[in-house]
Structure 1
Amino acid sequence: MIPAPLRIPDYRAFWFSRLATTIAQMAMVIVIGWQVYDIARETMSIREAAFRLGLIGLVQFVPLFILTPISGWTADRLDRRKIARAVVSLELLCALILFAATWGGFISLPILFGVAALLGVARAFAGPALGALAPNLVPKEILPQAIALSSAAWQTGAIAGPAIGGLLYDVEPHFPYALSALLFAFAVVCLFSIGPIPRTALKPGSPFKQMSDGLSYVRRNRLVLGAITLDLFAVLLGGATAMLPVYARDILQVGADGLGPLRAAPAVGATLTALFFSIRPLKTDVGVKMLGAVVVFGAATAIFGFSTYYPLSLAMLALLGAADMFSVYIRQSLIQLHTPDDMRGRVSAVSTLAISASNELGETRSGFTAALLGPVVATVAGGIAAICITLIWAGIFPELRRARTFELPVPAPEEADVVSSGV
């Protein structure tokens, strides 16, 4: 049985483009991480090389942080399809640069860091454009299913990408980048097949005011604010993926071949969870379940940090991936359904910034903490911190606990004016 969103041609093209770009991105990411750590280890200690690995996240985050107000406003003002095509084309260029440098034998840390910065620029515009585009392609009634399917495409790519990237790297180091370039090209073709979409006109005002409206809306809608910041701090403190090259090479001692399954394990758990929700959407007690999922995420991260047994490490990574997907599915559904269409680009930009801060800055935090305390202590402490953050957020944002379903609450008269004004 084909899920309802995939019966819509435009959404189907969007889904295939998301799958292709994710495979390409993940094949590149695993090789970039390995090359950075491997090159650094030729002349540096484990802690010094881990520090360089953490810098990759920082280099990607800085352009996204700077460009977020512009990218969100652009996604609400311009054709979201054209933005998506442009950013995927930029990622295609990045793949070609790394292909040429690796094939030619002149790959270096400056080139890897420079391309990482370009990928940060691409992500700054891709997140708001694609996040706001998906709700335009399906009826609101099946949006949670569409979000789950979109997440399944991402997670499937996150499984296939590292495995394919690792295998191709063993054959020839430049092969993963060649495949990524082909997949990005295919994604651009898919995006060009999406037909025109309706756009809601922005409220009158200066571009600066329109940019700030997104932040104002997030600040005033405590459910959206709580959901975004919970993910920000939990993953910022509890993320373990940046340390996977360290674990693969120096703790579990499974090498580049073992790194691929480690990188893919979280996506295995996440994909199974996303596919389940695409068939059987969650309907009750969504807020409490989201909080519980983040607690499981933190616990699995801490156990992974202690583990020196490869199968247990894989199992914990799969569990934290499933828990993270559980949380992402609920959070994204709540954010999209509680945000007016003319604000989705700017709110998605804020969400993308939070996600990038949690991922890229989380990688930087992991690298810096590992340099000071060692990778095991850094990972275990991060998992425990994620649990503590969840308990604190459950108290600060009772709106999260009280969210029973994805249905929009009926606003009180004084709140209706705020919602209708898009503020």
Structure 2
Amino acid sequence: MAGILIAQVGEAGCFGINAASFSVVILVLLRLRLPFPAALSRRGSLRSSVAAGADYLRRQPTLLRLIGILSLCGLVFAPYVIVPVFAREVLHVDATGLGLLMAAVGAGAVGGGLVAAGSRAARRLPLLIGASLVFGLSQIAFALSSTFGLSALLLAVGGAAFVMSQALTNTMVQLQTPDDLRGRVLGFYTLLTIGAGRFGGLLIGAGASAWGAPLALGLGAGLCLLGVAILAVGLRRNAE
């Protein structure tokens, strides 16, 4: 929506609308009345608590592979870093064109989230693997594209695939982790996946400066695709 509105209300107006939209979320949270379980007893130091979470995660190859796949995708998913460069240097469009490209990412993300939300438990793993592979392929294709319409479509596909992978990974990690360790495991999950996105933006930005945006993104997406395929084989073997 911001990508479409930026040409009409400007950047400041988009930030204002975004800030106002959080009031809806806050109102919903204030009205929630959930039957929270009794608080778990907390024993030991912070260091031992973190170590227990790390030790549990180390002994769970399935969880590690799930987090690894999303982290690899996060290294490449940097639309705020790379899309403006493609808009200016490859597609030769103005701010309106850039807004439409970013809107395509958002539209795909919404669609991918809805598909993930409606998936059945038995289909989550193959859907996650498929979405992650599609994400890598879409990023390679975007790096090779020089047509605005095709690039926007590929960004939508990539946005959908990444959010599907993210939502399904989050769901599977939470459901497969015991209550007393879930917070610690999710802490590592957040650190690795979100951290990968920030680090990936730095790497792709540096690569784009050195070799050009298409080569930097294509190389990163190719390595991401290879890593996802290797981890996916391990996941399928564990599932069998």
TM range (shorter): 0.7 to 0.9
- Whole-angstrom distance in 1 between the partners of 2:222 and 2:139: 8
- Whole-angstrom distance in 1 between the partners of 2:11 and 2:74: 31
TM-score, normalised by the number of residues in structure 2: 0.87
CA contact (8 A) 1:240 1:301 kept: no
Q: 1:172 to 1:392 in 2, by over 3 A?
A: closer
Look up the match of 1:260: 99
Look up the match of 1:189: 27
Look up the match of 1:390: 228
Look up the match of 1:150: none
Structure 1 residue 324 corresponds to structure 2 residue 162: yes
For structure 1, which runs of at least 5 residues remain unmatched after alignment?
Answer: 1-159, 405-423
Deviation at residue 219 of structure 1 after TM alignment:
1.4
Look up the match of 1:290: 128
- Whole-angstrom distance in 2 between the partners of 1:287 and 1:311: 31
Look up the match of 1:338: 176
1:207 equivalent among 41, 46, 50: 46
Q: Residue 224 of structure 1 aligns to which amino acid in structure 2?
A: L
Q: 1:297 to 1:276 in 2, by over 3 A?
A: closer
Look up the match of 1:95: none
Structure 1 residue 177 corresponds to structure 2 residue 12: no
Q: How does 1:151-162 map to 2 (within 5 A)?
A: 160-162=1-3
Q: How does 1:10-409 map to 2 (within 5 A)?
A: 160-164=1-5, 166-167=6-7, 170-195=8-33, 197-236=36-75, 238-241=76-79, 242-279=81-118, 281-284=119-122, 286-395=124-233, 398-403=234-239
- Whole-angstrom distance in 1 between the partners of 2:17 and 2:106: 20
Deviation at residue 338 of structure 1 after TM alignment:
0.3
Deviation at residue 367 of structure 1 after TM alignment:
0.5
Deviation at residue 273 of structure 1 after TM alignment:
3.1
Deviation at residue 275 of structure 1 after TM alignment:
2.0
Q: Residue 21 of structure 2 aligns to which amino acid in structure 1?
A: L
Deviation at residue 298 of structure 1 after TM alignment:
0.9
- Whole-angstrom distance in 2 between the partners of 1:250 and 1:399: 39
- Whole-angstrom distance in 2 between the partners of 1:286 and 1:187: 27
Residue aligned with 1:290, SS: helix
Which has the greater radius of gyration?
1
- Whole-angstrom distance in 1 between the partners of 2:193 and 2:202: 14
Q: 1:231 to 1:202 in 2, by over 3 A?
A: farther
Q: 1:254 to 1:182 in 2, by over 3 A?
A: same
Look up the match of 1:102: none
CA contact (8 A) 1:231 1:355 kept: yes
CA contact (8 A) 2:78 2:197 kept: no
Residue aligned with 1:284, SS: helix
- Whole-angstrom distance in 2 between the partners of 1:211 and 1:163: 44
- Whole-angstrom distance in 2 between the partners of 1:333 and 1:394: 17
The Cα offsets for residues 70-126 of structure 1, whole Å up to 9 and x where unpaired, read as xxxxxxxxxxxxxxxxxxxxxxxxxxxxxxxxxxxxxxxxxxxxxxxxxxxxxxxxx
Q: 1:202 to 1:218 in 2, by over 3 A?
A: farther
The Cα offsets for residues 32-65 of structure 1, whole Å up to 9 and x where unpaired, read as xxxxxxxxxxxxxxxxxxxxxxxxxxxxxxxxxx
Deviation at residue 345 of structure 1 after TM alignment:
1.9
Q: 1:223 to 1:278 in 2, by over 3 A?
A: same
Q: 1:163 to 1:361 in 2, by over 3 A?
A: farther
Residue aligned with 2:122, SS: coil
TM-score, normalised by the number of residues in structure 1: 0.52
- Whole-angstrom distance in 2 between the partners of 1:230 and 1:173: 34
CA contact (8 A) 1:240 1:379 kept: no
Q: 1:185 to 1:287 in 2, by over 3 A?
A: closer
